[in-house]
Structure 1
Amino acid sequence: MSKLVVFSFLGGDLNKGFPVVTAQLWHHNQFLLVKLTGSLPAVPELSELYRRWQLLYASVHQRLGSNQRIKVHSQDIITNISVNDFDEVCQQLQANINAWLKFESFQNIERQLRTLLSRDDEIRVVIETNIVLLHRLPWHLWNFFEDYPKAELALSNHEYASPQVLPKSPTAKVKILAILGNSLGIDIDQDGTLLEGLTDAQTTFLIEPTRKELDEHLWNLDWDILFFAGHSTSIADGEIGEFYINQTEVLTIPQLKNALNTAISRGLKLAIFNSCNGIGLARNLADLNIPQMIVMREIVPDLIAQEFLKNFLIAFAGSKPFYLAVREARERLQGLENEFPCASWLPVICQNPTTVPTTWQELSGNFGDPKFVSEVSIKGKISTPKSKLLTVLLSTFIVAVSTIGLRYLGVFEKIELQTFDQILRLRPNEDPDPRLIIVEITEKDIQSRQETTLGLKSISDSTLATLLKQLQKHQPRIIGLDIYRDFADPPNKLQPIKLSPEISKENVVVACKSRDSKYDPQGVKPPKEVPVKRQGFTDAIKDPDGIVRRQILMMAQEPSSTCTTRYSLSLQLAARYLSSEKIQSKFQEDYVQFGSKVFNRLKPGRSGGYQQGVNLGGSQILINYRNTDYQRVSLQDILSNKVNADVLKDKVVIIGVTANTVSDTWSTPYSTAQEDYQEISGVFIQAQMVSQVLSAVLDQRPILWVLPYWGDILWICGWSVVGSLIIWRVRSVSDKGCAIVAIVVILYGVCAIALLKQGLWIPFIPSAFGVVVSGVIVLFIQRRREFSTTPQPLLKI
């Protein structure tokens, strides 16, 4: 799965810090999954350390005598330097970069990204900035890249646009314009030999061309790749790049701007400058919106440039994705670092974030492999419509079965859950539930009271008793206590109101927490004065990405658990409220029923998008979040009699802590939609759970539910078959592509309407996958049959 992460450094510099750093996570350049904001502090020592590393790097390589693709000026050389000294500076630079990126505000970005990224994801990380020094830093030393083996770094300027490319006919060859420039003192013949060895490429060599010759080739012919080997450098503090096309002429990118713009519009997708100090060249080329570039950060020895090019071409032409091919070729250079220190630091990608990285097959337009075609003539065959249809149906069936198998293995689970969240967020804001009100214990409430308590408590028993007594004066229907009271405080002679009589009232429901031998061997016991019929557990369950999407209504407790109730706090509160409305309830193992409304549990093992590694034990249902805030009052407002009696009368009152010093915050499907990733306090989750039961029973609000497993299978198979038949009937290739897009859009609309209007969560991602793959296979079958009915020349091995 391809992911794009774009870090933007807005304003500031290393000396002043970066007050705003944004991170955007995209799915394959198409869907923005999340945008996060943080900051980074000033690190002036990092720029000084990098400058020292740069001087030592040039000096070490000059001492070792390696041929560089740039002349190193004598004034830039430090003579009294050892390799050990240089190694120490390298380690310091790596340590400083990682220490800087551990700043708490930036760490929040990284932590949230890690919840959305998988170790197996192909991740393109783009550093977007206009500061040259940030482009020069060895970002690949960030520990993040060690944890994600399929992640690779790219650089970008702040400003870019999608290149305007004219349509062109595909060819069977990748067209490469190779400029072999000034080679005085270096060996670039090996670069040419490597390019010549590409069997499915057509390489045109310009050996020490004049400016006019180069300009005419860029204007008059179509190119897929522009390659340069020779001397180059960056001047004006890295703002401008120069490359030496022959022994007398030096060019900058702006001097070729018109020709390069034309080449890009005619399909130039990749520029490779296998030469020294290419950051300036990359920055100037990026201004022309070229899709991708590969340059060398610093001076580069001949052997390193040649080895990188060789390994990159082998990987890229061998069908590896562009970023993974660069990472593999770059990391292979580490084996040469005894002779060429920091060789693996040099190659870097520069990327236009609006474009998807190209592939070798895309450049050549050849998705087949003629090497496996034997030396026989291909005779035309005519197929009947019936045989074509059977082939299409059989292929679609195989795709559908494979899709169901992949879903069964959990391949789509993460993205299915994210799509579920995305659809839920399409709903407009709803009105607050008028039946609920939250009494929140805020940070101010806690700090304003210096009370003696036993154990970790937000407020003392005496304060809680006073709060309950005050609440009872306003005649609430139910009071839910979403704070634990497993230990009593020492007696307080100055406080005559005791907690025990207050929590013994019939309309008060208290919380406890289940014992779990695996995750929570202790649990939290309820107050001993409260019978089990007025107890409710508050256990919550997170999905693998840390988001709470499910509510546990009932579950059996372990025999040794001090929390013995089978019912959750939210179910207890909802059931008591509905009982007062004369609505009968029925609690069964597989469902909970209030009147005519039935809440069916998610089936253990597999249910909806949950296919692998998720505990669906107990009686769990999906939470139908209400996209709104809840009416709330503070502890101090109640104790100070600032709340009107009508606000609390006949309501479900839930008491909970919202102070940020208490670790009781949770992620919801709406958290990722916030500009700053935002978790909510547990008491609001409880309110959502109570509200969804009451709203479903009293307001006919949809209950979220899923199809049985066989229903999902029929749905996926049905869309795959219908989609493939529609695509089969469409004639042109472009119309088939439009048909695939239209079917997927319609499918998304159907899934969205079903979820938002009826509460039915039906599988979009596997169905869309089946439609797309079936459509591609139908296209392949028809193109193959068209090809087979046309006389073809003999192909040789």
Structure 2
Amino acid sequence: MNSLVILNLGKGNCYDGLPHITARLVRQHEAASQMQYTGSLPSVPEIPKLYNHWQQLYKALHKALRKRLSTRSSIEFDDTVPTNVSEEEFRYLGEQLQKHINKWLNSSGFRTIDQQLRTQLDPKETIRFIIETEDPFLQKLPWHLWCFFEHYQKAEIAISAKNYQQVPAVPNSRVSRQMRILVVLGHSDGIDVQLDRGLLEDSAAETLVLNEPRRSVLEKHLRDKVGWDIFFFAGHSTSQAIDTMGEVRDQLSLNSCENLSISEVKYAFKDAIDKGLKLAIFNSCDGLGLARQLVDLNLPQLIAMREPVLDQVAHAFLKHFLQDFARGGPFYASVRYARERLQGMETDYPGASWLPIIYQNPTEGSFVWRTLQPPIPVAPQRRISDRKITAVNLRNLLLPVMLAMVLMVTGLRSLGWLQSAELGSYDALVRSRPVGADISEIDDRLLVVEITAEDTDKYTYPIHDDRLAEALTKLRQHDPVAIGVDLHRYQANGEGREQLLQQFEEFPDLITVCSFGFGDRELLSHPPEFSLEQAQNQVGFSDLETDALFQPGKSVVRRQLLSYDVNLAEESSDCVTSYSFGLNLALRYLLTHGVQPLRANGSNWLLGDVEFKRLSAQTGAYQALDGQINQMLLNYRFRPKPAIRASLEDVLAEKVADNEIRDRIVLIGVVDPFGGDLRHTPFGELPGVWIHTHAVSNILSAVLDQRSLLWVLPQWGRFQWGDLLWLWLWAGVGGLLVWWVKSLPLLALSLLVACWGLRQLCLFILIQGGWVPLIPALLALVGTAVILLARKHGFLPLESLSEQLNIKRHR
């Protein structure tokens, strides 16, 4: 499902505040079902100051970069701009701007809008997010830095004016034709526009290229009778040119002699829009002013650059955008895909991913790339007599087809092409396990203290040190085995820092977290006041392994880290502990139950009689894991929140019963979405503290309850021979069904039953702790059956080995 969010900022600006904001949510194909929310934003004069400073540094850095790259350049900076600016200062300023924007959008007047949108929107759906404002600075603000878009990976931001109207509908004859692109390559002194030309000409569209055209030629082709779908411009442009009357004009440099503004060709553009022009792309410098003029003509969509752009960045954006959009990707998702790919260039080209921006007419739907498919030729029907094959021939084909199918599926799997589908099916099986099949749904050895949205509204966020110290004092009165605080406390928060540190000194089984990430120390490290002994013994790393590399777009946590050798880190970190947060807590509980301390068995850990085997590079569906990390599969319990729960307010009010705390492990963490600690799991999004709870429970259940750790079929090193035999088995099932079952309807029913039986068997084995291939086995079963069935009815010109030998004998 696709959704449209229109955020109208009303009147106001960053200096005076925005007192009247409305957010309208529209579901696609549900025009009658609309929701609207209201809010406000306070004044933030520091944000324009930060952005203006960022803009100055951007121009200075890129001026210096231009001089290093070439004496000829695609950007024209003021020669008075200083160049003695460090990239570290530029990046720091960008981080500060991002923090201020998110703090502003987390203000109380706007929080209702944010919460309502998060409640109604699905992170998996495509979302068009349009901001309506007439304020030039608010249009230029990098809204993509809002943390909202980190949680909604298929959402992208666009800007719209407050006044707009719908463009007349285009005749069907034009909608059904091939995509047409008008490419204008303007004055190109110092610019390599030919690369843009090649990218567009290679796309599946009819392309007309105008190289440094005169104004009359441009107008003529804009008024083309057939009409255009996309207008593309590459060349020199600016939104700050001054005309002879002293007025600021938005100019395109068509050739060495002619510069013009959009207003000078607005009637030609209006004609093109009426004939079906859906998108304009200005892959050139400083295009916001150009965009505003075209938006006034009610152009459906436009892509421009916020600031001056180098050739390399402009080419990369166009390349990535066309790659995704021309293959059928949604327009907004394609722009986000291309914009985020620019981040990988920011080592050499700082600020690249901030540049692209969409302007949108809200009355227009999402633009879709049209691809005309050639007619599929119809194969002549063969006579029934030509389709006959004997049972003997089919039997001779059975083993070769099975072998070919198993090898093909294994090859696809080893290349990683099945990882995403396999991991998705694994999640479905995890959710399908019957509650209590091998263990209770609640682990009563654990208590989770949730810092809820109500808590953060009442006590502020982050929770102040004195409030946290008070909660720890009240919990310790009931003698828990250990307390885990899943909160990064490098920096003091409010009053009470000394009281909080005193809790750690008095209670050695109080554990907090650090992370091996290499970003902001204020977010990632333990309190700097800790001694070395405390840093090693009262801290566990909170890093969670996700599957973003194996399942693009789905950063799901399916694996559990146990320990990590800090010497393996590529960069130094203040996090010096070797054990994970979950393992640190579990060890303290197990020690009270007489379990021997953690000890090594080669590269694996032993607790009691249970060996926690490290995952190899190829494990189950995974084909390229990091074999140096001590990790295992996380065997989730049967419900997303498998422990006793209490809120921070309940603890402070002493409403939690003594028997729910005494002799238990207590975990404290933020569940308020504004805490930004949500992670994807097979159950959907869960706060990090609940994933750590599953990790602790997994260790305790394996050692104390003899619950099986998740295992896969046997293998020799990287050779998954157990999985290979499993595929061979199910390829045989598919082949034998085709051989034995003569009736086609009965065969179809038999194959459906076999597929359902395979799924149920995989589910049963998972309940016992085993993860066996489902998707590869389905492919082997169905693929073998389809090939043999096609041969059985004469659609495939396969010959058995015995047939070929008989032909040779007769010769």
Tell me which interval the TM-score lies in, with the shorter structure as reference length: 0.5 to 0.7
Q: 1:96-136 CA distances to partner (integer Å, 9 max, x unpaired)? A: 75699xxxxxxxxxxxxxxxxx98899989xxxxxxxxxxx
Q: 1:689-712 CA distances to partner (integer Å, 9 max, x unpaired)? A: 111222233334342221232111
Tell me the TM-score normalized by structure 1.
Answer: 0.54
Deviation at 1:49, TM superposition (A): 2.2
Q: Which runs of 5+ in 1 are unaligned?
A: 27-34, 68-79, 101-117, 126-139, 150-296, 298-323, 333-358, 371-377, 451-456, 672-678, 790-797
Q: Is the 8 A contact 1:436 1:652 kept in 2?
A: yes
Q: Is the 8 A contact 1:439 1:654 kept in 2?
A: yes
Match of 1:550 in 2: 559
SS in 2 for 1:541: coil
Distance 1:449 1:95, change over 3 A: farther
Q: Distance in 2 between matches of 1:713 and 1:766?
A: 10
Q: 2:490 aligned with 1:479, yes or no?
A: no
Distance 1:121 1:531, change over 3 A: same
Superposed, 1:627-638 pairs within 5 Å as 627-629=639-641, 630-638=643-651
Q: 2:740 aligned with 1:729, yes or no?
A: yes
Match of 1:657 among 658, 670, 677: 670
Deviation at 1:647, TM superposition (A): 2.0
What is the number of equivalent residue pairs in this alignment? 503
Deviation at 1:516, TM superposition (A): 5.8
Deviation at 1:490, TM superposition (A): 8.9
Match of 1:279 in 2: none
Deviation at 1:391, TM superposition (A): 2.2
Q: 2:332 aligned with 1:143, yes or no?
A: yes
Q: Distance in 2 between matches of 1:479 and 1:581?
A: 17
Superposed, 1:166-205 pairs within 5 Å as none
Q: 1:365-398 CA distances to partner (integer Å, 9 max, x unpaired)? A: 7599x9xxxxxxx999998855542322112101
Q: Distance in 2 between matches of 1:701 and 1:393?
A: 40
Superposed, 1:333-482 pairs within 5 Å as 360=376, 364=378, 388-429=394-435, 431-449=441-459, 458-482=462-486
Match of 2:658 among 640, 645, 653: 645
Q: 1:383-435 CA distances to partner (integer Å, 9 max, x unpaired)? A: 88555423221121011111100000011100100000011111245532211
Match of 1:758 in 2: 768
| Range 771-780 or range 482-491, more displaced | 482-491
Q: Is the 8 A contact 1:464 1:499 kept in 2?
A: no
Q: What CA RMSD, in Å, does the superposition of the two structures yield over aligned residues?
A: 5.2
Match of 1:12 among 6, 9, 32: 32
Q: Is the 8 A contact 2:394 2:739 kept in 1?
A: no
Q: 1:571-600 CA distances to partner (integer Å, 9 max, x unpaired)? A: 111121112111235443543333333332
Q: Is the 8 A contact 1:601 1:621 kept in 2?
A: yes
Q: Distance in 2 between matches of 1:624 and 1:119?
A: 38
Q: Distance in 1 between matches of 2:730 and 2:787?
A: 15
Q: Distance in 2 between matches of 1:731 and 1:690?
A: 54
Match of 1:83 among 260, 265, 268: 268
Q: Is the 8 A contact 2:448 2:667 kept in 1?
A: yes
Superposed, 1:552-631 pairs within 5 Å as 552-558=561-567, 560-588=572-600, 590-603=603-616, 605-612=617-624, 614-615=625-626, 617-626=628-637, 627-629=639-641, 630-631=643-644
Q: Distance in 2 between matches of 1:487 and 1:40?
A: 33
Q: Is the 8 A contact 1:526 1:535 kept in 2?
A: no
SS in 2 for 1:592: strand
Q: 2:519 aligned with 1:509, yes or no?
A: no
Q: Distance in 1 between matches of 2:490 and 2:2?
A: 48
| Range 410-419 or range 727-736, more displaced | 727-736
Match of 1:748 among 759, 770, 773: 759
Deviation at 1:740, TM superposition (A): 2.7
Deviation at 1:522, TM superposition (A): 9.7
| Range 550-559 or range 501-510, more displaced | 501-510
Which residue identity does 1:445 align to in structure 2?
Answer: D
Distance 1:119 1:784, change over 3 A: same
Match of 1:154 in 2: none
Superposed, 1:229-378 pairs within 5 Å as 327-329=370-372, 360=376, 364=378
Q: 2:786 aligned with 1:776, yes or no?
A: yes
Deviation at 1:488, TM superposition (A): 5.3
Match of 1:712 among 723, 728, 748: 723
Distance 1:658 1:15, change over 3 A: closer
SS in 2 for 1:661: helix
Match of 2:167 in 1: 50
Deviation at 1:663, TM superposition (A): 1.7
Deviation at 1:500, TM superposition (A): 3.0
Q: 2:541 aligned with 1:537, yes or no?
A: yes
Distance 1:668 1:628, change over 3 A: closer
Distance 1:408 1:785, change over 3 A: closer
Q: Distance in 2 between matches of 1:22 and 1:446?
A: 24
Q: Distance in 1 between matches of 2:493 and 2:302?
A: 44
Q: 2:705 aligned with 1:699, yes or no?
A: yes
Q: Is the 8 A contact 1:536 1:567 kept in 2?
A: yes
Q: Distance in 2 between matches of 1:624 and 1:615?
A: 19
Deviation at 1:329, TM superposition (A): 2.2
Q: 1:268-322 CA distances to partner (integer Å, 9 max, x unpaired)? A: xxxxxxxxxxxxxxxxxxxxxxxxxxxxx9xxxxxxxxxxxxxxxxxxxxxxxxx
Q: Distance in 2 between matches of 1:95 and 1:765?
A: 48
Q: Is the 8 A contact 1:8 1:22 kept in 2?
A: no
Q: Distance in 2 between matches of 1:15 and 1:444?
A: 24
Tell me the TM-score normalized by structure 2.
Answer: 0.53
Q: Distance in 2 between matches of 1:632 and 1:541?
A: 25
Q: 1:705-753 CA distances to partner (integer Å, 9 max, x unpaired)? A: 2123211111112211232123222223333333332222211111111
Deviation at 1:480, TM superposition (A): 1.1
Deviation at 1:521, TM superposition (A): 13
Distance 1:595 1:579, change over 3 A: same
Distance 1:569 1:738, change over 3 A: same
Q: Who wins on radius of gyration, i.e. which is larger?
A: 1
Match of 1:286 in 2: none
Q: Is the 8 A contact 1:723 1:740 kept in 2?
A: yes
Deviation at 1:771, TM superposition (A): 1.1
Q: Is the 8 A contact 1:21 1:39 kept in 2?
A: no
Q: Is the 8 A contact 2:484 2:512 kept in 1?
A: yes
SS in 1 for 2:443: coil
Q: Is the 8 A contact 1:4 1:123 kept in 2?
A: no
Distance 1:637 1:148, change over 3 A: closer
Q: Distance in 1 between matches of 2:598 and 2:484?
A: 21
Which residue identity does 2:623 align to in structure 1?
Answer: Q
Q: Is the 8 A contact 2:388 2:792 kept in 1?
A: no
Q: Distance in 1 between matches of 2:477 and 2:630?
A: 36
Q: Is the 8 A contact 1:22 1:36 kept in 2?
A: no
Q: Distance in 1 between matches of 2:298 and 2:547?
A: 34
Deviation at 1:36, TM superposition (A): 13
Q: Which runs of 5+ in 2 are unaligned?
A: 5-26, 38-115, 127-151, 176-219, 228-264, 281-293, 304-321, 339-364, 549-553, 715-719, 800-811
Q: Distance in 1 between matches of 2:690 and 2:419?
A: 26
Distance 1:21 1:420, change over 3 A: closer
SS in 2 for 1:466: helix
Q: Is the 8 A contact 1:98 1:143 kept in 2?
A: no
Q: Is the 8 A contact 2:635 2:709 kept in 1?
A: yes
Which residue identity does 1:464 align to in structure 2?
Answer: L
Match of 1:208 in 2: none
Match of 1:499 in 2: 501
Match of 1:670 among 679, 683, 686: 683
